[in-house]
């Protein structure tokens, strides 16, 4: 590890083989917290390459719990976090809207690291079991059309690294690669990232992971979600080709809201916002979810355009389908706890 740390200090990138070896050491019992912290900060200061990101993702996925069942047309809409916006749980709320539109969603997420409330925190507050075995997760995904994969549970080898991340309290490469490490075999993906300079990098990594379609986006104000505040930057992967696009909410007939207007709070407050949106309450929260869910439905390929995706998102909420997905998942999760499933 000393040699790799020296390379990073000298602003030198690691090859895919070197990165794989370094990551294997990070996951070993021999590494110290100080070495983990130095490695993460060194990568961040140097700037992560596509090869380094891909090698880390591959190593994490290889060490995760095994999800062997191939479920057709499944997608994820996880963001990286780390944008400091303190927004409500946009992608988590949007996941139920996407599922309500008829797209299976394997929602990958974690507890809060750099924000106030993570997806796992709000879903746990709502009564969803975070520690389902792979077989049950796959059963829920097939039966309900949505399931949650708790990162700390499905990636048991990262516990020591998570401790270091919490101590550092700054975004690192593990904030960036979280959405890429979903162990379910995904066909499509919407990935929000707080670093606009890495949009193309992440589109390339998703291409290497075999996604048929994907959208990588950075929102106005450098959010890791699409924002109604202004211009959003997108990289669209389709048929092996990556194209860039900017998107303003006015192009889609959506009202402008600032990022300040979509701030959230603790688990209880964010759970209430999620419920309000899924029950059809109008306002900035709903409009933000419509934008993000609409892009997700487009990323999956069910909608030909993002505007069409937004229309399907509206239908998912207004018909009660999105809220029904949440209630069904809560009910099945509680049944599992008492051994009924």
Q: Are 262 and 288 in contact (CB under 8 A)?
A: yes
- Does 316 show up as a binding residue in the annotation? no
The values of phi and psi at residue 254, to 5°, are -100, 150
- Does 87 show up as a binding residue in the annotation? yes
- Does 112 show up as a binding residue in the annotation? yes
- Does 107 show up as a binding residue in the annotation? yes
- Does 147 show up as a binding residue in the annotation? no
- Does 109 show up as a binding residue in the annotation? yes
- Does 188 show up as a binding residue in the annotation? no
Q: Are 237 and 214 in contact (CB under 8 A)?
A: yes
- Does 241 show up as a binding residue in the annotation? no
- Does 113 show up as a binding residue in the annotation? yes
- Does 66 show up as a binding residue in the annotation? no
- Does 84 show up as a binding residue in the annotation? no
- Does 232 show up as a binding residue in the annotation? no
Handedness of CA 153, 158, 160, 165 (dihedral sign): negative
B/e letters for 127-156, b = 16+ CB within 10 Å, e = fewer, are: ebbbebebebbbbbbeebbbbbbbbebbbe
- Does 286 show up as a binding residue in the annotation? no
- Does 248 show up as a binding residue in the annotation? no
- Does 68 show up as a binding residue in the annotation? no
- Does 246 show up as a binding residue in the annotation? no
Output the DSSP codes for 81-146: --S---B--HHHHHHHHHHHTT--EEEEE---SSSS--HHHHHHHTT--S---HHHHHHHHHHTSE
- Does 91 show up as a binding residue in the annotation? yes
Report in angstroms the alpha-carbon separations of 11 from 5, 34, 39, 45.
10, 19, 12, 8
Binding region for 5-phospho-alpha-D-ribose 1-diphosphate: 79, 82-83, 87, 89-92, 107-115, 119
Binding region for Mg(2+): 91, 224-225
Binding region for anthranilate: 79, 110, 165
Binding region: 79, 82-83, 87, 89-92, 107-115, 119, 165, 224-225
């Amino acid at each position: 590890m000393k040699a790799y740390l020296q390379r990073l200090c000298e602003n030198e990138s690691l090859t895919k083989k070197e990165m794989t070896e370094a990551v294997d050491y990070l996951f070993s019992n021999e590494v110290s917290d100080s070495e983990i912290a130095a490695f993460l900060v060194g990568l961040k200061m140097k700037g992560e390459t596509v090869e380094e990101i891909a090698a880390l993702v591959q190593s994490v996925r290889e060490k995760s719990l095994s999800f062997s069942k191939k479920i057709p047309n499944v997608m994820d809409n996880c963001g990286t976090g780390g944008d400091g916006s303190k927004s409500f749980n946009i992608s988590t709320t949007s996941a139920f809207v996407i599922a309500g539109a008829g797209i299976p969603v394997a929602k990958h997420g974690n507890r809060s690291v750099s924000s106030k409330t993570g997806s796992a925190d709000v879903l746990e507050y709502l009564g969803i079991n975070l520690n389902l075995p792979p077989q049950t997760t796959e059963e829920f995904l097939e039966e309900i059309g949505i399931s949650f994969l708790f990162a700390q549970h499905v990636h048991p080898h990262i516990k020591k690294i998570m401790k270091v991340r919490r101590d550092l309290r700054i975004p690192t490469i593990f904030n960036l690669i979280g959405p890429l490490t979903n162990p379910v075999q995904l066909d499509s993906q919407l990935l929000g990232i707080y670093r606009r300079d890495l949009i193309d990098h992440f589109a390339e990594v998703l291409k290497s992971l075999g996604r048929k379609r994907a959208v990588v986006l950075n929102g106005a104000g450098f959010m890791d979600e699409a924002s109604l505040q202004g211009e959003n930057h997108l990289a669209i992967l389709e048929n092996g080709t990556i194209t860039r696009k900017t998107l303003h909410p006015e192009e889609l007939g959506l009202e402008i809201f600032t990022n300040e207007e979509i701030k959230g709070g603790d688990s209880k407050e964010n759970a209430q916002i999620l419920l309000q949106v899924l029950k059809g309450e109008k306002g900035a929260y709903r409009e933000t979810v419509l934008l993000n869910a609409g892009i997700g439905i487009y990323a999956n390929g069910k909608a030909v355009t993002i505007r069409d995706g937004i229309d399907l998102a509206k239908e998912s909420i207004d018909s009660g389908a999105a809220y029904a997905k949440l209630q069904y998942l809560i009910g099945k999760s509680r049944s599992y706890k008492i051994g009924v499933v």
